[in-house]
């Protein structure tokens, strides 16, 4: 057996090992979700009798019951998450463009100060932020659930946007300037269309963070009219009248908007990762 054949066999064995590891990771990730979906179609005794496999009859009324209890709060979460994503995208795109295009005194220091906010643990800011929003009269509003998370998520997004914008060809900006386009038109018609991968990356990351944000809404949004679904799920879990199937169906229903959004944004998200939207 020559050296080339040995090298090919070694690469094949390495690929097999990598695929086995990836399969195990995928299994460990998806299996709990399978159990949740599986049990969401069952009554309590069906779960006790056979927790691993689907067993008829399938009780769709679990989903009807769960949807009836959490549907008003789903709308609240959609508003809050959309506000967070839109706010972070606007701030990060404009800030990233400014850092790339304009020369200003202390630009690098300002950028360092912005990204240094990523080093501050978020729980350290909970009390000061709560005191601030309380004095501003923002408790139990959509604004209190949107504005502080936007400030917390913006530094990472600014870093991603600036990194991506700096990779764009300077000739694009020069050609647009020669055609008479101002900076806002360059940003709107040249930079943003080319930056959909990084924008999708920011949107996916921040939508996940906004939808799953639990501690801050728990502190600031106690009224039913503005409570997000992640807080409402705790009411389903604590309600003794709800069986486990109803509780698990609530979690499945609450995760659907995020899953659907990720499915539609997957192509751009993967493109953003592979094109350098996130760099070490």
- Supply 98's token pair: 């400014």
CA dihedral 139, 142, 145, 146 (to 10 degrees): -130
CA dihedral 273, 276, 277, 280 (to 10 degrees): 100
Count the neighbouring beta carbons within 10 Å of the beta carbon of residue 104.
9
pLDDT at position 271: 62
Contact 252, 40 (CB under 8 A): yes
Tell me how far apart the alpha carbons of residues 198 and 189 are, in angstroms, rounded to a whole number: 16
| Res. 279: pLDDT tops 80 | no
Of 86-90, 184-188, 237-241, 273-277, give the lowest mean pLDDT range. 273-277
pLDDT at position 103: 83
In 3D, which of 224, 256, 215 has the Cα closest to residue 123? 215
pLDDT at position 250: 85
Instruction: Provide the angle, in degrees to the nearest 10, between the axes of the packed helices 229-238 and 244-274.
Output: 150
pLDDT at position 79: 93
Tell me how far apart the alpha carbons of residues 147 and 138 are, in angstroms, rounded to a whole number: 10
Mind listing the pLDDT tens digit for each residue in 16-64? 888 899 899 988 888 888 888 888 888 777 777 777 877 778 878 888 8
- Give the per-residue SS3 of 93-144: HHHHHHHHHCCCCCHHHHHHHHHHHHHCCHHHHHHHHHHHHHHCCCCCCHHH
- Supply 175's token pair: 């050609």
pLDDT at position 274: 55
| Res. 240: pLDDT tops 70 | no
pLDDT at position 142: 93
Mind listing the pLDDT tens digit for each residue in 196-215? 888 888 998 899 999 989 88
Widest CA span of the chain, in angstroms? 78
Tell me how far apart the alpha carbons of residues 201 and 279 are, in angstroms, rounded to a whole number: 12
- Supply 154's token pair: 């913006």
pLDDT at position 276: 47
- Quote the mean pLDDT of the chain: 83
Tell me how far apart the alpha carbons of residues 262 and 183 are, in angstroms, rounded to a whole number: 32
pLDDT at position 48: 75
> Would you kindly state where each structural domain of the chain is located, as residue ranges?
3-40, 61-274
| Res. 147: pLDDT tops 60 | yes
Mean predicted confidence (pLDDT) in 124-137: 89
Higher pLDDT, 266 or 133: 133
Mind listing the pLDDT tens digit for each residue in 242-256? 677 788 888 888 888
Mind listing the pLDDT tens digit for each residue in 220-235? 888 888 999 888 887 7
pLDDT at position 87: 95
pLDDT at position 258: 84
pLDDT at position 239: 63
pLDDT tier at 280, thresholds 50, 70, 90: very low
pLDDT at position 272: 55
Phi-psi region of 158 (alpha: psi -120 to 50; beta: other; left: phi over 0): alpha
Phi-psi region of 167 (alpha: psi -120 to 50; beta: other; left: phi over 0): alpha
What's the CATH number for 61-274?
A: 1.10.3720.10
Mind listing the pLDDT tens digit for each residue in 98-120? 888 888 888 889 888 888 888 88
């Amino acid at each position: 057996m020559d050296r080339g054949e040995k090298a090919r066999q070694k690469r094949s064995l390495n690929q097999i090992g990598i695929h086995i590891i990836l399969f195990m990771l995928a299994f460990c990730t998806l299996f709990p979700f399978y159990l949740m979906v599986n049990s969401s179609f069952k009554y309590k005794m069906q779960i006790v009798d056979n927790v691993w496999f689907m067993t008829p009859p399938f009780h769709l009324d679990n989903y009807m019951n769960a949807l009836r209890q959490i549907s008003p709060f789903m709308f609240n979460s959609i508003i809050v998450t959309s506000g967070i994503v839109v706010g972070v995208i606007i701030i990060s795109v404009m800030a990233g463009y400014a850092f790339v295009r304009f020369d200003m005194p202390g630009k690098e220091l300002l950028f360092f100060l912005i990204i240094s906010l990523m080093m501050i643990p978020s729980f350290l800011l909970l009390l000061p932020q709560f005191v601030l929003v309380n004095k501003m009269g923002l408790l139990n509003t959509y604004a209190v659930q949107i504005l502080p998370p936007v400030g917390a998520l913006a530094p990472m997004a600014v870093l991603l946007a600036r990194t991506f914008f700096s990779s764009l060809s300077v000739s694009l900006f020069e050609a647009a300037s020669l055609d008479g386009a101002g900076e806002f038109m360059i940003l709107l018609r040249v930079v943003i269309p080319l930056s959909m991968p990084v924008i999708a990356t920011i949107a996916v990351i921040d939508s996940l963070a906004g939808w799953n944000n639990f501690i801050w809404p728990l502190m600031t949004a106690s009224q039913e009219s503005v409570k997000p679904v992640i807080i409402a799920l705790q009411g389903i879990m604590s309600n003794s009248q709800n069986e486990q199937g109803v509780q698990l169906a609530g979690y499945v229903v609450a995760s659907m908007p995020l899953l659907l959004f990720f499915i539609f944004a997957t192509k751009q998200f993967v493109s953003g990762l592979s094109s350098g939207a996130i760099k070490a």
